[in-house]
Structure 1
Amino acid sequence: MRRFTEGFYGYVVAVFVCLAAAGLFLLIAPQSRDEHIPRREYSITVANFGHSVPYGVWAPVKDPAGWVPNSNRIAEGENGAQVLSLGYATAKREHAMLMESDEKPAAGFASRMANTERAVGTQQIDGQPWERRFREDKNQRSLVRMLPEATLVVTGTADWPELAELAASLQQRPQG
């Protein structure tokens, strides 16, 4: 019995026992293979934002299929303007976000949210022109629409079709 507890054989037995214990633990320990992305309801945030700005808020009528709203907040931007942020995990599990404000100058707000001033083209979404911006080092794409009353920025690591899907879901709600 002594030869199994000393020397090379003892070492091999000890390693085998440890590996068997680790394997047994992994076999019986509960494991979840399901992805869990926390869902954050944003309707109250949008309603509160609507009460704090002098225009009808733009928000998704319906979330795109397979998307999970996972963040929302109202922050104070420059010059005291309110900024609405709605974040999503897209169907392809990329990130997309709507940023909205009546901050002036609108171009400054758009550039800050898109992390770039440089436009790379335009895109028609539901018959409306949106400016495309791309920041390569952050893999960040942005669609920008400057309206008389507010600026909308749909941005994130999602591809152009997914960002366009979020932009197309936006509809202006009545003020108040």
Structure 2
Amino acid sequence: MLRSLAVILIPLLVIIWVFTRTPDEPQVDPVDWRPAVADARSGAGYPVLAPVEVPTDWKPVKARYVDRGGQWVGSTQAAGNRWELGFRSGDDIYMAVNQSDEPGKDAYIGSVTRSSHPDGTSTIDGQTWQRRVSQDGRTRSLVRAVGGSTAVVVADTGYPALESFAQTLRTS
């Protein structure tokens, strides 16, 4: 009886182990973000923010630009010229810069910042950014107008790290 039970239980335990374990680190392949910056800067019609340099332990994980009316995420259509660049820091924190010149500025900000609300201001390199925080307090954002577009810098971290990232951003 014990052998019969072992014949059933051992494969069952192996199957449970295989299908319930989680990988230690998700595999995220880096993307080449510089061509996307060039595309955005040539087509956007507004000054595109991007870092000149990033720390060596940061991994670029998202870089995309689409013209107004083009296909954005999934099957949505971009309401404006839209730019997004995201990095995963060495501390596994996702930080991104997003820009668009779409007409519904408040809807755009809400979609990028997880329906955040104002939380003060920060001055970075002489520019005033509006601080925003999501309803659950997890996501912090910095928002300002940049040459006819709305720029949003967003991360799941505190404002000091977010402000440091924003300091790396330039329009050329």
TM-score, normalising length: structure 2: 0.72
What is the match of residue 85 of structure 2?
86
* Equivalent in the alignment of 1:114: 113
138 and 35 in structure 1: CA distance in 2 versus 1, 3 angstrom threshold: same
| Matched residue, 1:48 | 39
1:150–1:126 Cα change, 3 Å: same
Q: Kindly provide the amino acid, as one letter, of the partner of residue 163 in structure 1.
A: L
Report if aligned partners of 2:44, 2:82 keep a CA contact under 8 Å in 1.
Answer: no
Cα pair distance change 1:106/1:86, threshold 3 Å: same
Secondary structure of 2:55's counterpart equals coil
8 Å contact 2:48–2:171 — kept in the other structure? yes
The alignment status of 1:143 with 2:142, answered yes or no, reads yes
Corresponding residue of 1:167: 166
One-letter code aligned to 2:30:
R
Larger Rg: 1
C-alpha contact 2:93 2:156 (8 A) present in aligned 1: yes
1:89-136 CA-to-partner distances (Å, cap 9, x unmatched) read 113111111111111233332222112251011111122111111114
Distance 1:121 1:62 in 2: 28
Q: What letter is aligned with 2:141?
A: S
SS in 2 for 1:45: helix
Aligned match of 2:62? 71
Does the CA contact (< 8 Å) of 1:142 and 1:156 recur in 2?
A: yes
Instruction: Report the counterpart of residue 99 of structure 1 in structure 2.
Output: 98
Q: Does the C-alpha gap of structure 1 residues 110 and 36 become closer, same or farther in structure 2, counting only changes over 3 Å?
A: same
- Structure 2 stretches of 5 or more lacking a match? 15-23, 70-76
Aligned-partner SS, 1:80: coil
Q: TM-score, normalised by structure 1?
A: 0.71
Decide whether aligned partners of structure 1 residues 79 and 62 sit closer, same or farther in structure 2, where only a CA change above 3 A counts: closer
Do the aligned residues in 2 keep the contact of 1:64 with 1:165 (CA within 8 Å)?
Answer: no
Does the CA-based 8 Å contact 1:106-1:146 persist in structure 2? no
Structure 1 regions of 5+ residues with no counterpart? 1-6, 23-32
- Give the C-alpha shift of residue 34 in structure 1: 8.6
Cross-structure match for 1:27: none
Name the SS for the 1:44 alignment partner: helix
Name the % identity: 26
Structure 1 partner of 2:53:
62
Structure with bigger helix share is 1
1:29 maps to what in 2? none
Q: State the partner residue of 1:134.
A: 133
